[in-house]
Structure 1
């Protein structure tokens, strides 16, 4: 069950504005948050004047309340031209995402008893927050009422920002094996990742394989993993011995996740697993991704990082894809592909397991069962990638659409035809700036969420695509 996001709400005020504005705001903001599917966390209204934060003493009281509640984010609700100094004092060491909302004035209600001036007050609020170097999130329009449907969308975006910030600030990534020897494209800098709170734990692939081989084929955990694979995709064509080997590997991966508290994994997926263990991990990777643990194949640690961020932003699974083929003569369309490590909720159906034709050709039949064939579900997606460079984490992202188009039936693996504005210019940019041929993908348009979380709160370097 997914954790419900909890928003603390601080209501601003200035003494000469009517208290009724704060009272109605408490009701309206609480309802908006609940209706959007989140939990409002409000300090007792009896503890401060009108239940608002206006003085430095009230600010200290509210700050202590927020720290005790351990919320995911804070909404500064401005029913009027609220006191910005008190707000800054309350927020200066909370270290959580902060969203600033201000009420609009209503034509015909501009008398002294109803006029809010929050339009002006929000500018002062942001000014002082900048002076205190307190990061905050804002959206457009500049003022919006909580019962406006547009505010619900703002809440959803802010919830995504909160998930990304919380999940990425303290993140542990497991690297199972060294990078695939020919793939210098997936080099990475552990220290650059640690600087932004991402810890990489590395494990020898020989240990992984030895642990898998040591498991009894009839062990309950192995049998359970086989059943999970069969529920995940159509395994009817796969030999039982191959499923046993996959299940053994899956049990070992789960062990590493549990023991080392891993949030995300990257794995060296060829060729030792195929030669020594007799299977490919593609279906397992999709299965774990569906469960909420993204796994990047080919030990692409950097794109494992971006997959984790995409999963947090979209509140759903993510996957790793190749920028793989042109789509005829259409300059803004291309085919994205990978061997089949894709969570099934991103596919049009659950697909079916096949033997990897490349491994069959290279190492002989029987060692490459594991890829899942299927097609990416048409609809909105976000694509993203990152690298480490000169001690920094550098990312790009964009919104696009998977088209409802098919390619030849002989095209193996998982694919989708994607349409992206200015694709050719973007490909030139990737090449000139050393971004790899992989990218992470999730459903929905969440690039806005990633940019806000990365740049405002996490300190990543984000580049603008042409």
Structure 2
């Protein structure tokens, strides 16, 4: 998956000139050594050129980490630190930044060896606010070399998402389908986030697809599809068209990315797509998402944006699903109750026609799209990927612009249960603690559309920090409140 940035974080130590500089020097070295012992040393760069005590040192450090190719910054308070120079360092660094501070080492060395970075972090945060500088500060930002190394490692996925957004282009095809205003949202917030968008007509896409007829690469893509699907290749006759479409999208990405490094796609898939192209694009969408190029269904631009963020955070494929249907009571009684610690209202089924990569399905079959085939000839609805989603921990989340152009988001951690769905499409039985209340008081009350992004793993902590960093008000980040903690809109007498 190469559609995301590689983070190289520069560690710059700072020092107040009335404190021993050696504290910052030695503590910086210890931090770099601790990181290299536990993680990949190539993630970080220890800026050796100076300890930042002044504005001149700040400029020298900036030039050094830029020359070293750093795209993220850790300002490390080895002692109290110079509040002006250290925050100017963050101001002038073009990329995500964090602030961490050194804990004192020994009760036997609290005279010349006391650094007071615990105090300095307060001044740093105050000055960051004065200068309107966004920076990540961990939950408890003061620690030993080993603890600060862990903080840096936790920052990497956050930094990866922020860098990715600054260099992202979302390519969309067509307006939202009729009666599908749920996925419609103003694009102004994309520009506020530094994201570019290229909006195209379905006719542009259809023209490009037709120009790829007879493409000599189709045969190799078909072979790759056959190998991926195995016994699940239920519609082999449609593979050449699907391969032609995949090449169309991949070529479009390369020809239209412009100066942007990373791309996501918001695609059209109905109502006229099937009758004109002669297939549905679900399986191709799943393959591109598996490559690290998220493709949302139904021209869901903020869905594609959310998927890309999750891809960067998890360094893994994600998916986009409808928060779709309840688990039938008899199914809950037979397969869930007493086996898993969830109430009936904690469970639901997440579904989409067939956009989830085979890597995240327990089994798969590529066939026709049942819902569309109810009103169209079955032969033009072929190309959907069906299968139960792999059991395991998940994070359900979404970043969204409201109709009045405000950013909001939600995050909920849970799991896909190892329960057979007995249904169709890319689908799974999901369980999220207190889902019933979250559904009513976050999803419905917050006017979110039915599409939610799914990252495979527990990534709520990182996603929450990403959303905070990019400017989502913390009061606008919904999550599944634990039992006994009331939502503002929840009836206290219920």
Q: What TM-score do the two structures reach when normalised by structure 2?
A: 0.85
CA distance in 2, matches of 1:408, 1:384: 22
Pair 1:334-2:348 in alignment: yes
Match of 2:45 in 1: 41
Q: Which moved more, 1:221-230 or 1:62-71?
A: 62-71
Q: Which moved more, 1:429-438 or 1:292-301?
A: 429-438
Match of 1:319 in 2: 319
Q: Which moved more, 1:71-80 or 1:36-45?
A: 36-45
CA distance in 1, matches of 2:52, 2:140: 24
Aligned 8 A contact 2:58 2:89 in 1: yes
Q: How far apart are residue 271 of structure 1 and its match?
A: 3.1
- Counterpart of 1:238 (choices 217, 220, 234) is 234
Aligned 8 A contact 1:12 1:78 in 2: yes
- Counterpart of 1:375 (choices 388, 396, 399) is 388
- Counterpart of 2:182 (choices 180, 185, 200) is 185
Paired residues, what number?
456
Match of 2:332 in 1: none
Pair 1:273-2:273 in alignment: yes
Match of 1:222 in 2: 218
- Counterpart of 1:24 (choices 18, 26, 36) is 26
Aligned CA distance change for structure 1 residues 236 and 130 (closer, same or farther; 3 Å): closer
Match of 2:289 in 1: 289
Aligned CA distance change for structure 1 residues 253 and 235 (closer, same or farther; 3 Å): farther
Pair 1:435-2:448 in alignment: yes
> Secondary structure of 1:392's partner?
coil
Pair 1:450-2:463 in alignment: yes
- Counterpart of 2:172 (choices 172, 175, 181) is 175
- Counterpart of 1:400 (choices 413, 416, 423) is 413
Q: Which moved more, 1:419-428 or 1:445-454?
A: 445-454
CA distance in 1, matches of 2:293, 2:415: 23
RMSD of aligned residue pairs (Cα, Å): 2.4
Aligned 8 A contact 1:377 1:402 in 2: no
> Secondary structure of 2:393's partner?
strand
Match of 2:484 in 1: none
Aligned 8 A contact 1:294 1:304 in 2: yes
Aligned 8 A contact 2:77 2:101 in 1: yes
Q: Which moved more, 1:376-385 or 1:313-322?
A: 376-385
Counterparts of residues 403-422 of structure 1 (less than 5 Å): 403-409=416-422, 411-422=423-434
> Secondary structure of 1:397's partner?
strand
Aligned CA distance change for structure 1 residues 15 and 216 (closer, same or farther; 3 Å): closer
Q: How far apart are residue 301 of structure 1 and its match?
A: 1.3
How big is each residue's C-alpha offset from its partner over 1:137-162, in whole Å with a ceiling of 9 and x where there is no partner? 111334111223xx454223311121
Match of 1:48 in 2: none
Aligned 8 A contact 1:36 1:155 in 2: no
CA distance in 2, matches of 1:134, 1:70: 22
Aligned 8 A contact 1:32 1:147 in 2: yes
Pair 1:5-2:15 in alignment: no
Aligned CA distance change for structure 1 residues 368 and 213 (closer, same or farther; 3 Å): same
Match of 1:105 in 2: 104
Q: What TM-score do the two structures reach when normalised by structure 1?
A: 0.90
CA distance in 1, matches of 2:226, 2:327: 33
Match of 2:337 in 1: none
Aligned 8 A contact 1:74 1:97 in 2: yes
CA distance in 2, matches of 1:258, 1:364: 34
Structure 1's unaligned 5+ residue stretches are 46-50
Structure 2's unaligned 5+ residue stretches are 330-343, 480-486, 488-494
> Secondary structure of 1:105's partner?
coil
CA distance in 1, matches of 2:252, 2:404: 28
Q: How far apart are residue 265 of structure 1 and its match?
A: 0.4
